[in-house]
Amino acid sequence: MSLDDRFDPFVDDWQDACRRTVLLLDVLRERGNICFEHNALAVPFVIEFKAALVKDGRQLERPVNDGPVRIVPPGGREPDPWKRPFIVVDPRAGHGPGIGGMKQESEIGEALAAGHPCCFVGFLPAPIPGQTVEAACRAEAMFVAEVAARHPDVEGKPAAGEAVNA
Protein backbone atom coordinates (compact mmCIF):
# COMPACT_ATOMS: atom_id res chain seq x y z
CA MET A 1 0.00 0.00 0.00
CA SER A 2 1.46 3.33 -1.05
CA LEU A 3 1.47 6.49 0.98
CA ASP A 4 -1.12 8.03 -1.36
CA ASP A 5 -3.50 5.12 -0.83
CA ARG A 6 -3.46 5.69 2.92
CA PHE A 7 -4.64 9.30 2.49
CA ASP A 8 -7.43 8.49 0.01
CA PRO A 9 -10.15 8.25 2.72
CA PHE A 10 -9.11 11.63 4.13
CA VAL A 11 -9.11 13.21 0.67
CA ASP A 12 -12.54 11.73 -0.04
CA ASP A 13 -13.89 13.06 3.26
CA TRP A 14 -12.35 16.49 2.62
CA GLN A 15 -13.90 16.65 -0.87
CA ASP A 16 -17.27 15.58 0.53
CA ALA A 17 -17.08 18.26 3.25
CA CYS A 18 -16.21 20.91 0.62
CA ARG A 19 -19.14 19.88 -1.58
CA ARG A 20 -21.54 19.92 1.37
CA THR A 21 -20.26 23.34 2.43
CA VAL A 22 -20.90 24.75 -1.04
CA LEU A 23 -24.41 23.26 -1.04
CA LEU A 24 -25.13 24.69 2.42
CA LEU A 25 -23.91 28.13 1.39
CA ASP A 26 -26.11 27.99 -1.72
CA VAL A 27 -29.18 27.08 0.38
CA LEU A 28 -28.40 29.93 2.81
CA ARG A 29 -28.01 32.36 -0.12
CA GLU A 30 -31.33 31.26 -1.60
CA ARG A 31 -33.08 31.54 1.78
CA GLY A 32 -31.61 35.01 2.28
CA ASN A 33 -32.92 36.13 -1.11
CA ILE A 34 -36.39 34.81 -0.24
CA CYS A 35 -36.25 36.67 3.08
CA PHE A 36 -35.29 39.95 1.37
CA GLU A 37 -38.10 39.56 -1.18
CA HIS A 38 -40.63 38.76 1.55
CA ASN A 39 -39.60 41.69 3.74
CA ALA A 40 -39.80 44.06 0.75
CA LEU A 41 -43.54 43.37 0.40
CA ALA A 42 -45.87 46.14 1.59
CA VAL A 43 -47.87 43.59 3.61
CA PRO A 44 -45.68 40.53 4.18
CA PHE A 45 -48.28 38.07 5.48
CA VAL A 46 -47.56 34.39 5.18
CA ILE A 47 -50.97 33.18 4.07
CA GLU A 48 -51.85 30.74 1.33
CA PHE A 49 -54.86 32.68 0.12
CA LYS A 50 -54.88 35.68 -2.21
CA ALA A 51 -55.81 38.79 -0.30
CA ALA A 52 -56.70 42.44 -0.90
CA LEU A 53 -55.88 45.14 1.64
CA VAL A 54 -59.01 46.58 3.29
CA LYS A 55 -57.38 49.25 5.45
CA ASP A 56 -53.73 50.01 6.11
CA GLY A 57 -53.13 50.56 9.82
CA ARG A 58 -50.04 52.60 9.01
CA GLN A 59 -52.28 55.26 7.41
CA LEU A 60 -54.51 55.80 10.46
CA GLU A 61 -54.42 58.97 12.55
CA ARG A 62 -52.64 56.92 15.22
CA PRO A 63 -50.65 54.46 13.05
CA VAL A 64 -50.38 50.79 13.97
CA ASN A 65 -48.55 47.86 12.43
CA ASP A 66 -51.60 45.80 11.53
CA GLY A 67 -54.44 45.82 9.08
CA PRO A 68 -57.19 43.65 7.67
CA VAL A 69 -57.10 42.01 4.28
CA ARG A 70 -60.11 40.58 2.46
CA ILE A 71 -59.50 36.97 1.52
CA VAL A 72 -60.22 36.30 -2.13
CA PRO A 73 -62.01 32.93 -2.33
CA PRO A 74 -60.10 30.41 -4.45
CA GLY A 75 -61.48 29.23 -7.75
CA GLY A 76 -63.43 32.41 -8.46
CA ARG A 77 -66.17 31.47 -5.99
CA GLU A 78 -68.00 34.38 -4.45
CA PRO A 79 -69.07 34.31 -0.80
CA ASP A 80 -72.75 34.21 0.08
CA PRO A 81 -73.77 37.88 0.52
CA TRP A 82 -76.23 36.93 3.28
CA LYS A 83 -73.72 35.12 5.49
CA ARG A 84 -71.92 37.12 8.13
CA PRO A 85 -68.22 37.73 7.57
CA PHE A 86 -65.48 36.06 9.57
CA ILE A 87 -62.52 38.08 10.82
CA VAL A 88 -59.50 36.03 11.84
CA VAL A 89 -56.85 37.79 13.93
CA ASP A 90 -53.38 36.34 13.81
CA PRO A 91 -51.73 36.49 17.25
CA ARG A 92 -48.19 35.82 15.99
CA ALA A 93 -47.56 38.79 13.66
CA GLY A 94 -48.42 36.72 10.60
CA HIS A 95 -45.09 34.98 10.58
CA GLY A 96 -45.51 31.91 12.77
CA PRO A 97 -46.43 28.31 12.01
CA GLY A 98 -50.05 27.23 11.86
CA ILE A 99 -51.60 30.65 11.31
CA GLY A 100 -55.25 30.76 10.38
CA GLY A 101 -54.66 31.21 6.67
CA MET A 102 -51.63 29.06 6.20
CA LYS A 103 -53.60 26.27 4.54
CA GLN A 104 -57.03 25.19 3.34
CA GLU A 105 -57.61 23.17 6.53
CA SER A 106 -57.74 26.27 8.71
CA GLU A 107 -60.28 28.61 10.22
CA ILE A 108 -60.25 30.73 7.07
CA GLY A 109 -60.41 27.70 4.78
CA GLU A 110 -63.40 26.28 6.64
CA ALA A 111 -65.27 29.60 6.66
CA LEU A 112 -64.64 30.08 2.92
CA ALA A 113 -65.84 26.54 2.22
CA ALA A 114 -69.06 27.34 4.11
CA GLY A 115 -69.57 30.43 1.91
CA HIS A 116 -68.68 33.15 4.44
CA PRO A 117 -66.76 36.27 3.43
CA CYS A 118 -63.44 36.31 5.30
CA CYS A 119 -60.95 38.88 6.46
CA PHE A 120 -57.59 38.30 8.06
CA VAL A 121 -55.94 40.81 10.41
CA GLY A 122 -52.21 40.37 10.30
CA PHE A 123 -49.33 42.31 11.74
CA LEU A 124 -46.13 43.63 10.29
CA PRO A 125 -42.99 42.17 11.91
CA ALA A 126 -42.15 45.38 13.82
CA PRO A 127 -44.38 47.91 15.59
CA ILE A 128 -44.72 51.47 14.32
CA PRO A 129 -42.48 53.83 16.34
CA GLY A 130 -44.57 55.28 19.17
CA GLN A 131 -47.38 52.74 18.72
CA THR A 132 -49.38 52.10 21.88
CA VAL A 133 -51.61 49.25 22.99
CA GLU A 134 -54.52 51.71 23.10
CA ALA A 135 -53.90 52.67 19.45
CA ALA A 136 -53.85 48.99 18.48
CA CYS A 137 -57.15 48.34 20.31
CA ARG A 138 -58.80 51.34 18.64
CA ALA A 139 -57.53 50.17 15.26
CA GLU A 140 -58.98 46.68 15.82
CA ALA A 141 -62.38 48.24 16.60
CA MET A 142 -62.12 50.36 13.43
CA PHE A 143 -61.25 47.27 11.39
CA VAL A 144 -64.30 45.38 12.68
CA ALA A 145 -66.50 48.42 11.96
CA GLU A 146 -65.06 48.65 8.42
CA VAL A 147 -65.80 44.96 7.74
CA ALA A 148 -69.33 45.35 9.17
CA ALA A 149 -69.92 48.40 6.95
CA ARG A 150 -68.94 46.38 3.89
CA HIS A 151 -71.62 43.79 4.74
CA PRO A 152 -74.65 45.84 5.85
CA ASP A 153 -77.30 43.32 4.82
CA VAL A 154 -76.10 40.33 6.82
CA GLU A 155 -77.82 39.21 9.97
CA GLY A 156 -75.60 39.64 13.02
CA LYS A 157 -72.18 41.16 13.49
CA PRO A 158 -68.94 39.87 11.99
CA ALA A 159 -67.64 36.77 13.71
CA ALA A 160 -64.14 37.33 15.06
CA GLY A 161 -61.70 34.69 16.13
CA GLU A 162 -58.05 34.14 16.78
CA ALA A 163 -56.07 32.01 14.39
CA VAL A 164 -55.25 28.64 15.88
CA ASN A 165 -52.77 25.95 14.97
CA ALA A 166 -54.70 24.05 12.37
Question: What ranges do the domains of the chain cover?
Answer: 1-40, 51-162
Q: Phi/psi at 153 (nearest 5 deg)?
A: -95, 0
Quote the pLDDT of residue 97: 46
Q: Which of 18-22, 58-62, 72-76, 102-106 has the lowest mean pLDDT?
A: 102-106
| Higher pLDDT pick, 90 / 67 | 67
> Cβ distance 49 to 107 under 8 Å?
no
pTM of the model: 0.66
Confirm if 146 and 55 have CB atoms less than 8 A apart: yes
For residue 14, is pLDDT > 90? yes
| For range 31-40, the mean pLDDT | 87
pLDDT above 90 for 19: yes
Range from 13-27, 95-109, 117-131 carrying the lowest mean pLDDT? 95-109
- When pLDDT is averaged across residues 112-122 and rounded to a whole number, the result is 87
* Residue of 132 and 43 predicted with greater confidence: 132
Mean pLDDT over the full length of the chain: 81
Q: 105-126 as b/e, with b when 16 or more CB fall inside 10 Å?
A: ebbbbebbeeebbbbbbbbbee
